[in-house]
């Protein structure tokens, strides 16, 4: 009995020293992932006429138009026509996804630590998620990868149901603020998150390419300058093997700002959270593609900066305005 207890203690110590640290090992890289700098894969110049020669930022324009009150990155009030536009943005992206056979989900805003760790993040790092003290919970928002993984953890999906195509519209919380640049760094935003599950890497890549084509079509209709880039290794999260990022041009920043992303992760997360798909005689780990189709704060900020005299709603969004 004493020997058994000693053996159990040795195994526990080994898990602490080897197994737990190994969970921080990142995913393997996709061959197309840039090693040092972002790679531009597509560039689009918008047709919207810019009336902002002084490069005034969106905070000043939004305040002058009485459409935005920005107190700090935590307290932001989007008002009047801009608030209606925000709702229209989400409806615009939702409508496109439903036409592409995606199933809407309503996910939890709060996620347990085990899911955060399973997705490759450090659940003790307050720069990555909002940690609820002594509750073993994290505030991430329903429009997040983690909220989908919480639903699918320890489940098996029939192979005849693949590809899984889910989306969720709602809050997204981002605690780490690198630079205070108005709406672009607000800790709370509205977003549309997509989740796709497939049988293997090739089918994941096919879905990745199809989704990227949808992204391009939707942003071209909005009419702003944008580009699609592959993010370099240094900017990837642990679970990502390849990330495509849609970036809008910010007039005030004189640079591009990320508004959307799409990532390949293979079976990295599925192995950690035991997310399976089942065939006739076998069980395999699900291959995952996920992405944020839009960050409404970023899109609104770039729309504000197009014109200092009025807030102009793109034609493709007008049909989705409530009034």
Q: In this predicted structure, what is the pLDDT of residue 12?
A: 72
Q: Is 0.75 topped by the overall pTM?
A: yes
- The pLDDT tens digits of the residues spanning 83-92 come to 999 999 999 9
Structure tokens at 78: 């989007």
Q: In this predicted structure, what is the pLDDT of residue 189?
A: 96
Per-residue pLDDT of the chain (323 residues; tens, 9 = 90+): 677 777 777 777 776 666 656 667 889 999 999 999 999 999 999 887 889 889 999 999 999 999 999 999 899 999 999 999 999 999 999 999 999 999 999 999 999 999 999 998 888 888 889 998 777 899 999 999 999 999 999 999 999 999 999 999 999 998 867 676 899 999 999 999 999 999 999 999 999 999 999 999 999 999 999 999 999 999 999 999 999 999 999 999 999 999 999 999 999 999 999 999 998 777 899 999 999 999 999 999 999 999 999 999 999 999 999 87
Q: In this predicted structure, what is the pLDDT of residue 21?
A: 64
């Amino acid at each position: 009995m004493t020997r058994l207890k000693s053996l159990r203690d040795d195994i526990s110590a080994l898990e602490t020293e080897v197994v737990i640290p190994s969970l921080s090992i990142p995913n393997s890289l996709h061959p197309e992932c840039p090693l040092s700098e972002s790679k531009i894969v597509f560039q689009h110049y918008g047709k919207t006429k810019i009336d902002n020669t002084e490069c005034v930022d969106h905070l000043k324009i939004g305040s002058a138009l009485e459409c935005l009150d920005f107190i700090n990155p935590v307290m932001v009030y989007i008002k009047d026509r801009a608030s209606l536009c925000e709702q229209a943005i989400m409806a615009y992206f939702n409508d496109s996804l439903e036409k592409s056979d995606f199933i809407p989900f309503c996910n939890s805003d709060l996620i347990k630590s085990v899911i955060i760790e399973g997705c490759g993040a450090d659940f003790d790092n307050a720069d990555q998620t909002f940690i609820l003290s002594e509750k073993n919970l994290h505030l991430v928002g329903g429009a997040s990868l983690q909220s989908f993984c919480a639903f699918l953890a320890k489940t098996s999906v029939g192979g005849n149901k693949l590809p899984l195509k889910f989306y969720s519209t709602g809050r997204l919380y981002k605690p780490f603020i690198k630079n205070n640049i108005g709406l672009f760094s607000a800790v709370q935003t509205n977003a549309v998150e997509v989740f796709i599950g497939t049988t293997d890497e090739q089918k994941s890549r096919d879905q990745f390419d199809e989704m990227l084509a949808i992204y391009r079509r939707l942003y071209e209709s909005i009419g702003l300058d944008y580009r699609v880039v592959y993010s370099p290794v240094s900017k990837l999260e642990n679970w990502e093997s390849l990330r495509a990022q849609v970036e809008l041009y910010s007039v005030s920043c004189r640079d591009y700002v990320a508004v959307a992303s799409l990532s390949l992760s293979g079976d990295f997360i599925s192995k950690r959270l035991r997310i399976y798909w089942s065939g006739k005689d076998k069980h395999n780990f699900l291959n995952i593609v996920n992405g944020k189709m839009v960050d409404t704060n970023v899109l609104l900020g770039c729309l504000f900066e197009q014109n200092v005299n009025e807030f102009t709603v793109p034609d493709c969004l007008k049909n989705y305005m409530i009034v």
